[in-house]
Amino acid sequence: MAQPQAMYATDEYGRPFIILREQAKKTRSHGVQAIKTHILAARTVANIIRTSLGPRGLDKILISPDGEITVTNDGATILSQMEVEHPIAKLLVQLSKSQDDEIGDGTTGVVVLAGALLEQSEALLDRGIHPIRIADGFEKACAVAVKQLDKISDRIEYSRENTENLLKTSMTSLGSKIVSMEHRKFAQIAVDAVLQVADLERRDVPFDLIKVEGKVGGSLADTTLIKGVLVDKDMSHPGMPSVVRDAKIAILTCPFEPPRPKTKHKLDITSVEEYKKLREYEKEKFADMIKRVKDTGANLVICQWGFDDEANHLLMQNDLPAVRWVGGPEIELIAIATNGRIVPRFEDLAPEKLGKAGVVREVTFGTTRDKMLVIEECANTRAVTIFVRGSNKMIVDEAKRALHDAICCVRNLVVDNRVVYGGGAADISCSIAVAKAADQISTVEQYAMRSFASALDSVPLALAENSGLSPIETLASVKSRQVTEGNPCLGIDCLQKGENDMKKQFVYDPLISKRQQYLLATQLVRAVLKIDDVIVSGESDD
């Protein structure tokens, strides 16, 4: 019986020891096995949200530890609420968050692409190709794909008067969301909101001027765009006027109450005279505060803190409407919108620090008769609020997420008005270009480049599958037409309108969104391929 062959090796002190060949093989394959384990974890996560891609994608129900239900098909939301333990799966969650933070749309697509690239990597590892060579091949393929995206992109023209192209791109983003029944209205709201706050010359969209509020009641059709600020508060006293015209607003972050000792001392009142003195002192202080506000010419007070019934009564007697308990972010937005200054002490009040608005009014919404405060015709006309309505909390939350994606989509076009065509058209075109480029390379990276081209096909395959079409037949048909006709606009007809030309269907994707998907997915896969072990600090191997 043949003895297993042995090989010699030395330790760090130069002492020789023997490794049997089977052992050596096992040692070499340990790194590859670890990478395959990582790939399996990442693919599991990618496969979960693959079915949510596209206009016919399915939703997921997410149940939080305290029993709260979220129904969504937004990739970033699904991943952020999933309990993932594996460190590589957590990287995928961070990948979708990066896409969400940077671009705001395409969070499902980037994870599906990363999962497909990792699946292809596994086949290449089985063929004995080194992980670093695979990663290098993917980098080269990504560069070819990004160059192809630039080549096939079209510029879309728009202006404040002509918003039709922006509207169509926004509608593409909303096509897969729960609001698709009202998607033209929501797309119009997203476009109007972005153009209201955008500086088209500088190609800048300050997101902090767009606020999205939601309240249960009514239907999605009742969603409105308010050119101003909406605050979920009402006047502090029912006797105060519900409408203030030509408002001069004192924005306070100090409470309407007499100063109290800031230490743990307590005040003992032992006689009626002392009580009367204290009462007079408080009354004087209240009167002084109200006088300071009135002297600046203010006719409305918005206060971050509360005030008691006595202060409330005095404010009403002095014809000074007031709103209390307004949160910090709302206070900041009101200050930006009205060009006012936030005042931390009554002594600092001055006429030039007041915010100005054309009208401040209480409005009543829905069957619950909830009152909210609307500040319109502000000094800074760029601040807007989108007020979302829906029949239940789940629909309101999903509508807010959908609007965020649509607003980001329009914002991306203001920043860079180049688009590629959706329905997998851009992915198929890039796949063809990468496969051609692979044929020109003689090194082992050509295998990785061909695998990258196959991974790009996973997006149109998923779109076709989620739309109830035969995935492989549909992709093969569209791909052959792209090659023979040389038309990079041909994609998967997800809505089955009988037209594969995405340009005619007006299915647009902002170029920077698609480019970022390719770059982020490739970076993540490169990182995963370079990890051959996971070491948890504080744990030993025994």
Residues contacting 263, CB < 8 A, separation 6+ = none
Contact 542, 451 (CB under 8 A): no
- What CA–CA distances, in Å, run from 376 to 106, 135, 228, 381, 407? 34, 55, 5, 9, 21
Spatial distance between the Cα atoms of 514 and 526, rounded to a whole number of angstroms:
19
- Give a three-class secondary structure readout of 21-73: HHHHHHHHHHHHHHHHHHHHHHHHHHHHHHCCCCCCCCCEEEECCCCCEEEEC
What's the CATH architecture for 228-380? 3-Layer(bba) Sandwich (3.50)
Q: Which helix (H) or strand (E) holds 6?
A: strand 6-10
> Which of 202-223 are b and which e, b meaning 16 or more Cβ less than 10 Å from the residue's Cβ?
eeebeeebbbbbbbbbbebeeb
What pLDDT shows up at residue 282?
79
What pLDDT shows up at residue 23?
42
Q: Which amino acid is present at 33?
A: Q
For the domain spanning 25-155+420-529, the CATH number is: 1.10.560.10
Q: Which amino acid is present at 300?
A: L
> Which of 340-363 are b and which e, b meaning 16 or more Cβ less than 10 Å from the residue's Cβ?
bbbbeebeebeeebbbbbeebebe
Highest mean pLDDT among 35-39, 74-78, 386-390: 386-390
Residue % of the chain over a pLDDT of 90: 14
Residue 451 has pLDDT above 90, yes or no: yes
Contact 425, 502 (CB under 8 A): yes
Residue 147 has pLDDT above 90, yes or no: yes
What pLDDT digit, counting tens, does each position of 1-58 carry?
444 444 445 555 555 654 444 443 444 455 678 788 888 888 888 888 888 888 888 8
The torsion angles phi and psi of 437, rounded to 5 degrees, stand at -65, -35
Kindly report, as residue ranges, where domains of CATH 1.10.560.10 are found in the chain.
25-155+420-529
Which residue among 100, 105, 234, 405 is the active-site one?
Answer: 405
**DSSP tally for the chain: helices H, then strands E:** 16, 17
What pLDDT shows up at residue 454?
93
Contact 405, 173 (CB under 8 A): yes
What pLDDT shows up at residue 22?
44
What is the separation of C-alpha 456 from the centre of its chain, rounded to a whole number of angstroms? 24
538 pLDDT band, cuts 50/70/90, is: low
What pLDDT shows up at residue 304?
87
Averaged pLDDT, 114-138: 90
The torsion angles phi and psi of 297, rounded to 5 degrees, stand at 95, 10
What is the separation of C-alpha 364 from the centre of its chain, rounded to a whole number of angstroms? 30
223: annotated active-site residue: no
Which residue among 108, 169, 172, 385 is the active-site one?
Answer: 108
11: annotated active-site residue: no
User: What is the model's pTM?
Assistant: 0.77
Spatial distance between the Cα atoms of 41 and 7, rounded to a whole number of angstroms:
35
Averaged pLDDT, 491-502: 84
Averaged pLDDT, 399-414: 87
Kindly report, as residue ranges, where domains of CATH 3.50.7.10 are found in the chain.
228-380
107: annotated active-site residue: yes
What pLDDT shows up at residue 25?
43
Number of Cα atoms under 13 Å in the Cβ half of residue 512: 16
Averaged pLDDT, 123-144: 91
37: annotated active-site residue: no
Contact 281, 257 (CB under 8 A): no
Spatial distance between the Cα atoms of 433 and 431, rounded to a whole number of angstroms:
5
Sign (positive/negative) of CA torsion 432, 435, 439, 442? positive
Spatial distance between the Cα atoms of 248 and 172, rounded to a whole number of angstroms:
42
What pLDDT shows up at residue 312?
82
The torsion angles phi and psi of 130, rounded to 5 degrees, stand at -70, 140
Contact 212, 389 (CB under 8 A): no
89 DSSP 8-state letter = H
Contact 290, 214 (CB under 8 A): no
Contact 524, 110 (CB under 8 A): no
With tokens 């992109």, the residue in question is 153
Spatial distance between the Cα atoms of 120 and 39, rounded to a whole number of angstroms:
10
Spatial distance between the Cα atoms of 255 and 515, rounded to a whole number of angstroms:
51
DSSP string, 170-198: HHHHHTTSGGGGGHHHHHHHHHHHHHHH-
Which residue among 70, 72, 77, 107 is the active-site one?
Answer: 107
Which residue among 74, 105, 136, 427 is the active-site one?
Answer: 74
What pLDDT shows up at residue 447?
92
What pLDDT digit, counting tens, does each position of 229-241 carry?
888 888 888 888 8
What pLDDT digit, counting tens, does each position of 246-298 carry?
889 999 888 877 766 666 667 777 888 888 888 888 788 888 888 888 888 88
What pLDDT digit, counting tens, does each position of 303-337 carry?
888 777 777 888 888 888 888 888 888 888 888 88
